[in-house]
Amino acid sequence: MEGKEARAPLLQPRGEAAGAATVGRARREALKWWVESKKLWQIVGPAILQRIALYAINVVSQAFIGHLGDLELAAFSIAATVVAGFNFGFLLGMASALETLCGQAFGAKKHHMLGVYLQRSWVVLLIFAVALTPTYIFMEDLLLLIGQSPELSRLAGQMSLWLLPQHFAMALLLPLTRFLQSQLKNWVTAVTAGVALAVHIVVTYVLVQHLGLGIVGAVAAADLSWWLVVLGQFVYVVGGGCPLSWKGFSMEAFADFWEFIKLSSASGVMLCLENWYYRVLVLLTGYLKNAEIAVDALSICQTINGWEMMIPFGFLAATGVRVANELGAGSGKGARFAIVVSITTSAAIGVVFWALILYFDDRIALLFTSSEPVLRAVHSLSVLLAFTILLNSVQPVLSGVAVGSGWQALVAYVNVGTYYFIGVPLGVILGWPLQLGVGGIWAGMIGGTAVQTLILAYLTVKCDWDEEAKMASAKMKRWADS
């Protein structure tokens, strides 16, 4: 009995020690999560604000055009989807190579290389922007060739010519934004976009409502606003805002040009196929009966989806930067943890917006149209919109992992297979043979996105991040010495 009593006091402190150790581990994990979240939101917050502001520039134009008439709204949607959307996706993808290179260079503290990479990216994107210009010029002929109506094709062709200034603005702006984000100078991108949006609202109102310039006034105002953002960020960079990374224009920008083009092209294909995928949905809908109403309803849903997508796109940018920074610094464990925090946070936000879309249903479409047939069509698509938003809260973050790790070429193959050999054929089968219309097309394409997300998740989970960190460090040394 005495032995038991003697042993009892010894057992209690051990239990308390174990409990204290558990609490200590939990606190350390919570602190670790908090520190990573702060680093993530330093990029995510301004990135989301910038993307929402830039997207809102075209949304404001679309809203003014939508109240001019159903045909005008459909023509703007087609022009923005078929030409501007495709080219924007390709240039966006090419610029994402900077997220890999600048992010890893910044993590490795090779700051002087960031300015060289920026200039290389400008040259590459301007070359491709010139090469893509004919798609704007021959827009009407292209639409007629693929069977769109003559009236819709003519008006969309006129709009596409006015979108050319935005095209070249993107070629300069996209590298600038990624150059600044990789150095955590995110407030610059947010402020310039916010100021441009405020100017755009005023200018659009004056040109469309007071001067009666219609669709031309709306698109011209958007052109002006995009160039204001370019000018603001360019002046900041070359005017001394980035003393460590911007040393002036250099002929080094043309060194090792082919390797840079290959990475940029792989990035371009990866994000272009991703960006173009749901835009194909608008194009396919143009072949349905009563296509004008269907295209209007779908374009409104895609606009709402695109606006909300600025949040996961912000996480895409932030994940790419954080993963690249950690890999450049040689920390595979840090890259892995950054991925977990980013995916969890973005998915939680996606659940909130999923619920909001289901609750508000078609009422949000009143911003773009007062047409009862269009509102009814939006109502029938609201559930698909909600689940698209939920799925897209994860998929872009996984693409950000690919960007930060330099997997663009591999992911391009994944995108082709899942989007265009699964999603599009499934959507066509549901839309026409099974006669489910635009809802069937959209549902099939959601299936393609789901398969792509599962594959990217598998690649992320199975990756040896310590080995990736070693490869990134070796690559940075090779590029810096070239």
**Domain edges within the chain:** 38-481
Both structure tokens of 124: 């590459």
pTM for the model: 0.77
pLDDT reported for residue 293: 80
- C-alpha to C-alpha distance for 83 and 184, rounded to whole angstroms: 32
Both structure tokens of 25: 């581990």
Classify the phi-psi angles of 148: left when phi > 0, otherwise alpha if psi is within -120 to 50, otherwise beta.
beta
pLDDT reported for residue 13: 55
Q: Answer positive or negative: Cα dihedral of 72, 383, 285, 54.
A: positive
Q: Answer positive or negative: Cα dihedral of 234, 266, 420, 422.
A: negative
Half-sphere exposure of 457 (CA within 13 A, CB side): 12
pLDDT reported for residue 16: 60
Burial of 134 (0-12, 13-18, 19+ CB in 10 A): exposed
**Residues 6 or more apart in contact with residue 383 via CB below 8 angstroms:** 358
Both structure tokens of 303: 């606009």
- C-alpha to C-alpha distance for 384 and 99, rounded to whole angstroms: 32
Ranges under pLDDT 70 in the chain? 1-21, 81-82, 271, 274-275, 278-279, 290, 475-482
pLDDT reported for residue 348: 95
pLDDT reported for residue 8: 46
159 contacts 76 by C-beta, under 8 angstroms: yes
145 contacts 121 by C-beta, under 8 angstroms: no
How confident is the prediction for the chain on average, in pLDDT?
Answer: 84
331 contacts 411 by C-beta, under 8 angstroms: no
Both structure tokens of 21: 């150790």
- C-alpha to C-alpha distance for 36 and 42, rounded to whole angstroms: 10
